[in-house]
Amino acid sequence: MAKPQAKSTIWEFLQSLGKTFMLPVALLAFSGILLGVGSSLTSDAVKQSMPFLDNTVLQLLFLWMTKVGLVAFIYLPVMFAVAIPLGLAREEKGVAAFAGFVGYAALNLSINFYLTVANVIGDAAAEKAYGVKSILGISSIDTGILGAIIVGVIVAKLHARFYTYRMPDALAFFGGARFVPIITVLVLGVVGLVVPFAWPWFAAGINGIGALISHAGPFGPFLFGTGERLLLPLGLHHILVALIRFTEAGGTQLVCGNEVSGALNIFYSELACADTNGFSVSATSFLSQGKMPAFLGGLPGAALAMYHCARPENRGKIKALLVSGVVACVIGGITEPLEFLFLFVAPVLYVIHAILTGLGFMTMGLLGVTIGNTDGNLIDFLVFGVLQGTATKWYLVPVAAAIWFAIYYSVFRFAIVRFNLKTPGREIETSEAAQPAGKKAGNSGYNGEIILNALGGADNILALDNCITRLRMSVQDMSRVDDKLLKANGAIGVIKLDEHNLQVVIGPQVHLVKNQLQSLMRD
C-alpha cells in the first residue's frame, strides 16, 4: 500500500505546483497587454499613421503603460518565489508568501557571500562564467525562474512542517508561524552556498532541452503545442509551458545588449527595446500565434459541428453552453469549457485536436508570423498582431483560422455521426438532469448544495482549491462521488486522477463555486 500512496502524493504535489504558476502568469498576461499597447502606440509608424495620437498627454500615458507593464517581466522570479508557497500552503498563507520573499533574498545573499569570498565579484571573466547578474540589487548567479521555483518549493515544505512549531517557553515569541521565515533564512542560506556548485548541472540540463527543441527545427513548436494540449487534462501543462517561456529551453538571445532566456522573456524584451526591428520568429513560434488557428478557428468549428449533430429538440438547451464556450475560447483564451465537452466521450478526437494545435504552432512559425504573449485569443491578436504593424504578418492568422475551422468542423461532424459519439445534445434527456425541487442556485449560477452532496458531503473533502476552470480536490472516499449528478448540475467533466485526487471541470465561474462550497463546508 505504501507505493500507491507515494504515487498519489507526488501526483497531488505536481498538480498543486502547476496551479500556483497561474497567479504570476495571469499578471504576466495583463502586464503584457499594457506593454504591447503602450509600446505600439508610441512607435513612429503609429504616430505617423494616426497623428492625433502624437500629443504630449497621450504619449506620456502610453509611456507610463509601457513602464508599468514591465513589472511582471522584471520581477517575475520574485513573484514565483512568493506565489508558490502562497498557493501550496493550506493555512497561514500570508506567512508562507512572506517567507517566500525572505527565502529568495536569503538565497541570493548567500550566493553573493560565496562569490565575494571566491573573488568572483569584480572579475569580469569570472562573473561571466558564473552568470552573475544584479538580483534585487544583489550581485548573484541568475538562476531565473527555475531557481525561484526551487525556493518556492523549499519554503512551502518548511512552512508545512514548522508553522505550528512549538518553541520553549522562554523563546515562545519566535514559535509557530513566526518560526517559518526564521528557519527559511537558515535553510536557504545553506542552499545558497551549494548553488554555485550545483547550478552548472541544472543549467546544462535545461540547455540540453533547449538544444533538443532548437535542433527539431519547425517540429519543435509542433512538439510543444501538441504536448501542451495532451498534458492539459492532467493539469501538468503549466510546467512544460513555464519551462519554454522562462528558461533556456525556450531559447537564448541578445536583446538590447542583454542576454535573455525563455521565449516569452525574449519577446517582452524585444517589445520593450526601442532598438529592435520586429520580433524573433524563434521565440514567438512558442507563443500566442501558435494557438490562434485552433483557438480562433478550430474549436469554434468543433462547437458548430457539435451543435449541428445534436438532436433537434436539444439544440436550444445546449446553445448557451456552446456559445459561452466559444466566447471564453476566442475572447479569453480559455479552452477547457469546449475541450471537456468531447474529451471523455471521444478521447481520439482530443488527440486529433492536440495534433492540429501542434500543427498550428508549426504553421505559424513556418509562415514567419511574429505574434507573442500567452493566451492566443482575440485580444492578443489585436494588441500584439494588428497594433504592431504588418511586420507581424497578422493578416495570415484569419486565413489559418478559417482553414482550421473547416478542418475541425469536417472532422468532428464526420466522427460524431459515424461513430455515434455522445457529445452534448445527442444523449436522451432523463430526469437526472433536473435539479431537485426546492434547491436554488447561488450567485455562481450553480447549486452548491447539490454539488457538495455529489462530492460525498463536506466530511468527504480533504482539500479543496481551484485553477482557471476546475475544482481541484482530495477526497477521502472516491466511491462517494456521483459523476452523473455533478454533470447533471453543470459540471463539464469529472477527472478521477487516482483513488483520492479529483478534478471537476466547471468553467470560468469556478472560483465562485469553490467559495460557495467552502462556505457550505464551514456551516
**Catalytic residues, which ones?**
467
363: number of Cβ within 10 Å: 20
SS3 category, 98: helix
Contacts of 273 (CB under 8 A, 6+ apart): 255, 256
Residue written as grid cell 472516499: 477
State how far the alpha carbon of 179 is from the alpha carbons of 95, 101, 149, 501, 522, in Å.
10, 15, 22, 31, 28
Q: DSSP string covering 352-413, please? A: HHHHHHHHHHHHHHHTT----SSS-SHHHIIIIIITT-GGG-TTHHHHHHHHHHHHHHHHHH
Give the amino acid at 11.
Answer: W
**φ, ψ of residue 131 in degrees (nearest 5):** 70, 45
* Contact criterion met (CB below 8 Å) for 459 and 474: no
- Asked whether the beta carbons of 140 and 115 are under 8 A apart, the reply is yes
* CA-CA-CA-CA dihedral for 121, 122, 128, 132, to nearest 10: 40
3-state secondary structure of 416: helix
Q: Name the grid cell of 385.
A: 498582431
Sheet with 470-475, edge to edge strand ranges: 461-466, 470-475, 501-505, 493-496
Using only C-alpha atoms, what is the Rg of the chain? Answer: 25
**Contacts made by residues 453-461, CB under 8 angstroms, sequence distance 24+:** 453/482, 453/485, 454/481, 454/482, 454/485, 454/486, 454/489, 455/480, 455/481, 455/482, 455/486, 455/502, 455/504, 455/517, 456/480, 456/481, 456/482, 458/520, 458/521, 461/517, 461/521
Taking the C-alpha atoms of residue 82 and residue 70, their distance in angstroms, rounded to an integer, is 18
Confirm if 513 and 506 have CB atoms less than 8 A apart: yes
Torsion of CA 422, 514, 517, 460, to 10 degrees: 70
Contact 194, 111 (CB under 8 A): no
93 and 29 Cβ atoms separated by less than 8 Å: no
**Cα dihedral 185, 191, 194, 199 in deg (nearest 10):** -120
All three cell numbers of 163: 508553522
Burial (0-12, 13-18, 19+ Cβ within 10 Å), 150: buried
